[in-house]
Amino acid sequence: MSLLSIEDLSVAYPTRRGTVQAVEDAWLTVAPGQIHGLVGESGAGKSTVGAAIMGLIDPPGGITGGTIRLRNRAIGGLDRAAMRGLRGSKISMIFQDPLTALNPLLTVGQQIVETMRFHLDLPEDEAARRAKALLTRVGIDDPDTRFDQYPHQFSGGMRQRVVIALALCSDPDVIIADEPTTALDVSIQAQILDLIRELARERQVGVILITHDMGVIAEVTDAVTVMYRGRVVETGPTDRVLRAPEHPYTRALIAAVPRPDVKMRRFPLIAYGGGLPQVDVAELSGGWTAPATEGPLLRVEGLTKRFVQKASLLPSRRQYFTAVDNVSFDIAAGEVFGLVGESGSGKSTVARMIAALYPLDAGRVTFDGQAVGRDAPGPVLNAYRRQIQMIFQDPFSSLNPRMRVDAIVAEPLHHLSDMNGTEIRRRVDALLEGVGLGRAAGRRYPHEFSGGQRQRISIARALATRPRFLICDEPTSALDVSVQAQILNILKDLQENLNLTMLFISHDLPVVRQMCDRVGVLRAGRLVEVAETEALFEAPEHPYTRELLRLMPRFTGPAAS
Amino acid sequence: MIAYIVRRLLQSLLVLMVVGLVAFAMFRFVGDPVESMLGQERTATDVERLREALGLDRSFAVQYWRFLQNAVQGDFGISYRQGRPVAEILLERAPATLELAAVSGALAIGFGILLGILTAIRRDGWGASLVMAASLIGVSLPTFLIGILLIYLFSVELGWLPSFGRGDTVRLGFWTTGFLTESGLKALILPAITLGLYQMTLIMRLVRSEMMEVLRQDYIRFARARGLPERTINFRHALKNTLVPVITVTGLQLGAIIAFAIITETVFQWPGVGLLFINAVQFVDIPVMGAYLMLVAVMFVAINLAVDLLYVAIDPRLRTK
């Protein structure tokens, strides 16, 4: 028996340039206790399907066709009041980011009790009692204390448990989980997915799990629906779809997922739905390659960074948080060194200290035999900065929205080179051609580009000064798998052809396996293990590394490929 | 928490001492008080005697210290022009200004927040558009013009409300109030609107934009997804989150209402401290100017202290830090 069924659902958003068909003829069914995955890349319409079921499509958009049935009752066309009765009580939702999904000014207890009282018409103390029982059920210790605490007193994983408790508190039939673990670390992700699976079985709730992550799909779902550009391309039991995908898009999507089990020379690209802009390495470099050096290019010794946690006038009363604790490693010329760890482990802080953005509290950074770092003399620091460049995680906030793309790419040249205007213009054109955007892109602004295109702009900017050393801080974690594959291939090509040296920071272990020669594992600011990539993945020595690898989503794609 | 309050109090004290220094420095650098007090017919002994009586023969630091001591006790010296203690004059005038400021502040906050919420919730309604358009007038017209327009319309043309003064007042101890007589209340209406209109439109526009920002947040979407009724979402979840930035600006604006009542008081011949200050400037009555400066500083500091404490009351994230 199906709990929820969707047939021929269409959702459209009227815009000034005509109607955008966000979802077209989508269909899926969910049975009680079943977890149904909805997978696709950004813009595929998967979140829109979730919003349509909730009746939460933002105006002026709306459902233009099809039916949504809950226990054989049509709910698609209900008016606002009737929809509100269903929302929360029969269907509830789990959001992606637990840091923003809870009201910061109300206690956790207030938010649960308020929802329970509205839907179940309970007296205050009964609702409070049930809320505490529910908090215990989702794995929150000491519910009596936690009940009166505010969201900021919970960690990310704990907040997501609170969000789950909130979604469950009105005994719904269906839960829509929209990327419930995307914002969490792998170890927390595994716990939250386990919890969702357990609760779905125990309470016979149907779950629609919206995600872009094939690993999550493989781990917890019973059935899966694949969407592409607003349309359902394939649906079926998870095992069957992942093992023997029928539609070419599904095959391409599965192939693009970085493999954790074996290192491949290049990432397979999704060729479905149009060609990809090619990267011209010769154009990018202008015939230049990084000179080879004797010994390690970059040496980091005893790097330590403390942040003031509690300020005080008296030095003895100040409290510090040690973000990076005595970290040492070498990177040889032409090597890609990976740095992995969970959020808060100090990965980005290390990168910023090497880039001389943060002063060092202790330790030394040596580049090509010369001591560099925030307190190095001006000329040395400038020469160093010309040779290192950074690529940041978020392609949306790392480009100034008020600057034209050509000005963005030219900026490092103005400050770090002695080229004149004509030379700079020629170089910017070559760079934009080289990353596959074309020189016409220079006259446009960042918001006109997609995430992947913006990351290409970041790469063009980073390569402008012909650096020898590139720091990539989570360069692809904000991107779809197919785009991730393109960007990682570009970085690989550059590294091989220009003899670039790279520090590659990521929390995504399969990506690290594909990209890096050697890997360092950071935990709470300490480097616990450094090893050759293959050795680390095949025979990890430190227990923490083993734990990280055990929790890594094991998605290896269809046996055939 | 207590450490936080103590720290804020100490900071406030420091601010007041610095303002006191500025007020005191005026005595030394804005003309010679002896000159202006004695006039043409004077002898060298007169000058000497007055210098000693006013303590002007002491060092700068000693004089500053004396000034602070006296100021704390409410003694701001003697008005050059009226020859009476400044504290007495201020006490006489302060109730008029404070009553005016309180009424216009209440109007500004009450209507500002209410209209701000309504225009944010009914973003596309014609009522909201009308209020927004009207609020442009409040922001762009200068205070004196609004006052004159109101006088022209309600006093000259319609003859409903008085155009100047406080009307009849009632004495309660040292405090004279206009709240208890009909003519006093009537006289309050026009100046209160004139003084509060700008602040009201400002608060309204701020509440509106903050509210619209908050309504886009994930926790509001999540509250909607839990099926909570719109009223709960708007007034329980959204309003509280809107208030934190609004309080900051509102606090500063309330200070401004008291400090800059000068123009309104001039237009309506309102017998408050603003009018007193304008007269003091005309006659270089430095003790009055100094005392006025201190009064305004105390108001600002007190309001800002209240704002900081309100933050902590509203936002739990500040409490546990």
Comparing A383-387, A463-467, B42-46, B260-264, which segment has the lowest mean pLDDT?
B42-46
Between residues 133 and 152 of chain A, which touch chain B (CB distance below 8 Å)? 150, 152
Please say if the pLDDT value at position A101 is more than 70: yes
| Inter-chain CB proximity B221 and A85 less than 8 Å | no
Backbone angles phi, psi at B48, to 5 degrees: -60, -45
Strand partners, A231: A228
The pLDDT of residue A224 is 93
> Could you read off the pLDDT of A386-415 as tens digits, one per residue?
889 999 888 888 899 889 999 999 998 888
Total tally of structural domains belonging to chain B: 1
Domain membership of residue B310 (yes or no) is: no
* Phi then psi dihedrals of residue A41, to 5 deg: -90, 175
In a domain, B157, yes or no: yes
- Who wins on pLDDT, A239 or B79? A239
Nearest-angstrom CA–CA distance, A148 and B23: 49
Which residue of chain A comes nearest to B241, CA vs CA? Answer: A105
Chain B partners within 8 Å of A170 (Cβ): 226-227
Q: Which of A351, A338, A356 is nearest to A495 (CA)?
A: A338
Is residue B292 assigned to a domain? no
**pLDDT given at position A521:** 94
Q: Is B269 left (phi over 0), alpha (psi -120 to 50) or beta?
A: left
Render pLDDT for B67-116 as a digit per residue (tens, 0 to 9): 788 888 878 777 777 778 888 888 888 888 888 888 888 998 899 988 99
CA neighbor of A49 nearest in space, from A153, A178, A148:
A178
Task: Evaluate whether B218 touches A95 at the Cβ level (below 8 Å).
Answer: yes
Q: How would you class A180 by CB atoms within 10 Å of its CB: exposed for 0-12, middle for 13-18, buried for 19 or more?
A: buried
Residues in CB range of A158: below 8 A, 6 or more apart: A140
Alpha-carbon gap, residue A4 to A10, rounded angstroms: 16
Contact A118 B229 (CB under 8 A): yes
Q: Is B182 inside any structural domain?
A: yes
Q: Which of A89, A104, A114 sits opposite B317 (nearest CB)?
A: A104
Q: Which residues of B touch A100 (CB under 8 A)?
A: 217-219
Answer whether A87 sits within 8 Å of B227, measured CB to CB: yes
Q: Distance between CA B263 and CA B144 in Å, rounded? A: 6
The per-residue pLDDT for B84 is: 83
* pLDDT for res A184: 80
Q: Which residues on A lie below 8 Å from B317 (Cβ)? A: 104, 150, 152
The mean-pLDDT minimum among A15-19, A354-358, A483-487 falls in: A15-19
Contact across the interface for A103 and B219, Cβ inside 8 Å? yes
* Residue A559, pLDDT score: 45
**In the block, residue with structure tokens 């900026």:** A411
Is B258 within the bounds of a domain? yes
Residues of chain A in contact with residue B218, where contact means CB-CB under 8 angstroms, are: 95, 97, 100-101
**Residue B241 belongs to some domain of the structure:** yes
Residue B168 lies in a domain: yes
Which residue is closest to B226 within chain A, CA to CA?
A: A88
Q: What is the mean pLDDT of chain B?
A: 82
Q: Do A114 and B218 touch (CB under 8 A)?
A: no
Q: Which residue of B has its CA nearest to A117?
A: B228
pLDDT score at A205: 92
Separation of alpha carbons B206 and A204, rounded Å: 47
d(CA A259, CA A488): 13
Whether B221 sits inside 8 A of A95 (CB atoms) is yes
- Name which of A46, A404, A330, A3 is nearest A211 in CA terms: A46
Inter-CA distances, A429 with A339, B35, B294, Å: 33, 76, 63
Nearest to A428 by CA among A452, A420, A492: A420
By the CB < 8 Å criterion, does A85 face chain B?
Answer: yes
Contact B317 A89 (CB under 8 A): no
Contact B218/A at CB under 8 A: yes
Closest-CA residue of A relative to B243 is A105
Which residues in chain B are contacts of A106 at CB distance < 8 A?
236-237, 240
- Summarised one tens digit per residue, pLDDT across range A357-392 is 888 888 889 888 888 877 778 888 888 888 899 998
pLDDT, tens digit (0-9, with 9 covering 90-100), for A259-279? 777 777 777 766 665 556 667
CA distance B236 to chain A (A): 9
Both tokens assigned to A441: 């892109």
Q: H/E element holding A296? A: strand A296-310
> DSSP assignment, residue A383?
H
Of A416, A411, A389, A388, nearest in space to A400 by CA: A411
User: Are B226 and A166 inside 8 Å of each other by CB?
Assistant: yes
Closest residue of A to B319, CA-based?
A: A150
Q: Which of B222, B229, B314 sits opposite A101 (nearest CB)?
A: B222
Per-residue pLDDT tens digits for A123-153: 888 999 999 998 988 888 888 889 999 888 8
Query: B239-259 and B86-121 helices cross at what angle (nearest 10)?
Result: 150
A87 and chain B in contact, CB less than 8 A = yes
**Contact across the interface for A106 and B237, Cβ inside 8 Å:** yes
Which residues in chain A have Cβ-Cβ distances shorter than 8 Å to B225?
Answer: 54, 56, 87-88, 92-93, 95
Report yes or no: A487 and A455 within 8 Å, Cβ to Cβ: yes
The H-or-E segment that residue B149 falls in is: helix B143-150
Nearest to B257 by CA among B201, B196, B207, B299: B196
> What is the DSSP secondary structure assignment for residue B85, as one 8-state letter?
B
Q: What is the pLDDT of residue A331?
A: 93
**Domain assignment present for B27:** no
B28 in A contact zone (CB under 8 Å)? no
Q: Looking at the partner chain, which of B221, B229, B316 has a beta carbon nearest the beta carbon of A84?
A: B229
pLDDT over 90 percentage in chain A: 21
The CATH number covering residue B192 comes to: 1.10.3720.10
Mean pLDDT of A459-466: 88
How far, in Å, CA of B225 to CA of A163, rounded? 12
Which chain A residues are within 8 Å of B320, Cβ to Cβ?
Answer: 150, 152-153
Question: When comparing pLDDT for B4 and B246, which is higher?
Answer: B246
Average pLDDT, integer, range A286-314: 77
- Largest Cα span, chain A: 76
Domains annotated for chain A, with CATH where assigned, are: 32-53+83-256 (3.40.50.300), 281-309+326-395+468-551 (3.40.50.300)
Compute the nearest-CA separation of B102 from chain A (Å).
29
- What is the token pair recorded at A206? 């149907």
> Is A561 part of the contact surface with chain B (CB cutoff 8 Å)?
no
Q: Measured between alpha carbons, how far is A203 from A87 in angstroms, rounded to an integer?
A: 18
Structure tokens at A91: 């269907």
> Could you list the residue range(s) of the whole structural domain that residue B252 is in?
94-284
Contact criterion met (CB < 8 Å) for A87 and B320:
no
Q: Cβ of B216 under 8 Å from any chain A Cβ?
A: no
Tokens of B233: 């979402």
Which tens digit of pLDDT belongs to each residue from A482-540?
A: 788 888 888 888 888 888 899 999 988 888 998 999 999 999 889 999 999 999 989 99
